[in-house]
Structure 1
Amino acid sequence: MFTDRRYLLTNEGDAARLTSPTYPPPSNYYGCVSFWYHMRGDDIGYLNTYLNVNGVLQQIWSFGNIQTDDFWRIARQSVFLTDDFQIMFEGIAGRQEEGDIAIDDVQFSIGMCSGFFGSCTFETDTCGWTNAKTGDEFDWVRHSGGSYSDFTGPSYDHTYGNQNGWYMYIEASFPRTAGERARLESEGFSPNGPRCFQFWYHMYGNFTGTLNVRNTFHFITQTHFIGQLLYFSTHEIFAQSIQ
């Protein structure tokens, strides 16, 4: 399902709403709303998700005013329900004429959404993390075991601490050149309170380069500088970063 301003007579702020049938509450009162969304274009507006309980709308997820690349992203939100309910998707038109908002594979499951949003050990897949299609020159790779170049790292993953575990990795050695970038992006998060972002990183070798973490909100990007190793690192270790 999608909205597209090029073919609809819409103005900024106009809304298109898609509503589910009415469902009974889960037996344990907890549920997980998940779906895939696609938002592309200049100033595309917002995609909001609501619960309609007894005629009262409760916003559970919102994302927008961020131009994304041409691929699908996953969204998940845990909910607590004691009465019959409906799920409502609302697309809000932005200022520009070219832009679309689409959703697919909507699912409601009993029980809270598994794991912390954005968390991933990369043992089975990338958990919704994707390589950026614009703004960089090469990609992150899901990998196990040691790196392909000598005297760099890592030799093992952090989750299991052996060569059977998987992690995300870029090769900073040849054929890469100084200044080239690889960007890995998370799913979109609804701004519903403070969040803690934590990860383990490994930087080892001559002239490793720089690792940055960026967050984007309403077209404003903030960069959090993690580290830059310009000389040979004498110890192969994982370090922890908490933002």
Structure 2
Amino acid sequence: MRTGITLIIIFKTLFSKSDAGFTDFETPSKDWFNALFRNAASWKLHRNDKPSWKNSPTLPLDHNRGSFLFFSTSGSAGAVNKKSAILESKILRTSNRGSCVSFWYRISGRHAGVLELKKVKRSGTDLLWKREGEQMEGWKYVKVAIPINPNTKYYQLIIEANLGSDGSMALDDIDLDENHSCTNSLENGGFVVDFENKVTSMKNKVYGDHFDWVIEKATSSGGGPPTDVTSGIGHYLLLKTYGKRTGQKASYVSNGISRSDNGACLSFYYFINGQRVGKMTVSILSKSGWVSTAKILWSNTGNQSGNWKFAKVSLPKTLTSQSYDIMFTGTVGTDNSGSVAIDDITLKNTGVC
């Protein structure tokens, strides 16, 4: 009898409407569930109107004020001896036009652990996205393309938190578009560039450079970082310094960004390996296309311990009052055997950080 009931449930799930759409956890979700048949703890639903949450420095408020999911090494979620929590989507149909999932996340604590997005299908599990360790302060937004596989008719997405020795993770506002592939576009001309799909928002500077940045796949033998930021096995933007002369430059620039009366917020991950490998700067061209208007907003020089680092830069409204550009410039140092790389560039053109 139990087997029959299980088969009926699976049959109804497979052939029910599979458009997961948007989930903000303000009402019970019909599209995302805590895993029932895996050896995992449960994500917990919390609201920011609870006094105990307001008084705790380790627990974030909803980025739009409201409810979110949370998993921690302390409290009720961590009281059990299970260090992972898995959130499963309903059964989804593969689209021949591509699919895209986005969500907000927050990872707090130096030894917080790993947060992963995976695609589960009959033939196995694919890792689509990963973040490990503390991700600085505040909520972060991510958009991930779901690869098209004509041999897979149905699949599930899972968001899995594997906690370390001390920390917490939170999720909010999961948005799944099953019938359209990801785009780089955000509101008011903003964009996300993770170098996993064709880049339309940025390009190598055409004139005045000595060489170009290149999009490279993460590998242990490619001269760059052995992992990328997005999934650990994806792509990043690499400044190949080997064979270049000291002082030579390469710039990567946006394709014109709409004005913003409220300023903007730029975030990205960077990798600098080598004591004298060179310098990386981020500049704003307050008049789109005019390099002569460039103003340096951020710079870093020298070895960064061979790890990916996160940076966030506010663009004041005085610099975004007309169409503008963002430009990343790498300058070769005296040691051309190191590497400089960039990944997961996000520009929110609706206000400062």
Query: What's the TM-score, normalizing by structure 1?
Result: 0.53
- In 2: Cα distance, 1:36 partner to 1:108 partner: 12
Contact 2:111–2:134, Cα closer than 8 Å, also in 1: yes
Structure 1 residue matching 2:232: 3-state secondary structure:
coil
Matched residue, 1:15: 84
Instruction: Say how many residue pairs are matched.
Output: 163
Counterpart position of 1:83: 153
Three-state SS of the structure 2 residue aligned to 1:124 is helix
Aligned counterparts of 1:239 and 1:38: Cα–Cα separation in 2:
27
After superposition, the Cα gap between the structure-2 partners of 1:39 and 1:222, relative to the gap in structure 1 and judged at 3 Å, is closer
> By how many angstroms is 1:18 displaced?
1.2
- Identify the residue that residue 253 of structure 2 maps to in structure 1: 199
2:131 touches 2:230 (CA, 8 Å); kept in 1? yes
Q: Of 167, 175, 188, which residue of structure 2 is paired with 1:124?
A: 188
Question: Which one of the candidate residues 32, 35, 46 is aligned to 2:100?
Answer: 32
* Equivalent residue number for residue 110 of structure 2: 42
Q: Is the 8 A contact 2:104 2:139 kept in 1?
A: no
What secondary structure does 1:106 align onto? strand
Q: For 1:52-86, what per-residue CA distance to the aligned partner results, in whole angstroms no more than 9, with x for missing partners?
A: 11162111111111342023433423421332011
Q: Could you tell me how far 1:219 is from its partner in structure 2?
A: 6.0
Aligned to 1:54: 122
SS of structure 2 residue aligned to 1:44: strand
Q: Distance in 2 between matches of 1:91 and 1:106?
A: 15
Partner deviation per Cα, 1:82-112 (whole Å, 9 max, x = no partner): 320111110011122xx21111111221222
Q: Which residue in 2 is equivalent to 1:241?
A: 329
Structure 1 residue aligned with 2:182, among 96, 113, 123?
Answer: 113
Calculate percent identity across the aligned residue pairs.
18
Q: Could you tell me whether the CA contact under 8 Å between 1:65 and 1:219 is conserved in 2?
A: no
Cα shift at 1:191: 2.6
Residues 52 and 58, structure 1, Cα contact 8 Å, conserved in 2: yes
Which ranges of structure 2 fall in alignment gaps of 5 or more residues? Answer: 1-68, 194-201, 204-228, 239-251, 255-282, 286-290, 312-324, 331-340, 342-353
Output the CA distance in 2 between the equivalents of 1:218 and 1:68.
18
Q: Give the 3 Å change call, closer, same or farther, for CA 213–189 of structure 1 in structure 2.
A: farther
1:100-128 deviation digits (Å, cap 9, x = unpaired): 1111111221222112xxxx7x8815446
Select 1:103's aligned residue among 153, 171, 178: 171
Instruction: Kindly provide the amino acid, as one letter, of the partner of residue 211 in structure 1.
Output: W
3-state SS in 2 of match to 1:90: strand
Note the C-alpha offset of 1:25.
1.3
Unaligned runs of 5+ in 1: 130-157, 160-187, 224-236
Supply the distance in 1 between the matched residues of 2:326 and 2:143 (Cα, whole angstroms).
30
Counterpart code for 1:95: S
Q: Which has the higher contact order (CA 8 A, sep 6+)?
A: 1
Measured in 2, the distance between the counterparts of 1:87 and 1:222 equals 26
The structure-2 alpha-carbon separation of the partners of 1:91 and 1:114, relative to structure 1 and needing over 3 Å to count, comes to: same
Q: Which residue of 1 aligns with 2:132?
A: 64
Residue 5 of structure 1 aligns with which residue?
73
Indicate if the aligned counterparts of 1:49 and 1:62 stay in contact, CA closer than 8 A.
yes
Cα 1:35/1:213, change in 2 over 3 Å: farther
Q: Return the letter of the residue paired with 2:156.
A: Q
> Are the structure 2 counterparts of residues 91 and 106 from structure 1 closer, same or farther at C-alpha, using a change threshold of 3 Å?
same
1:37–1:75 CA contact under 8 A, matched in 2:
no
Q: Distance in 1 between matches of 2:154 and 2:113?
A: 30
Structure 2: how far apart are the matches of 1:37 and 1:44?
A: 13
Residue type of the alignment partner of 1:21: K
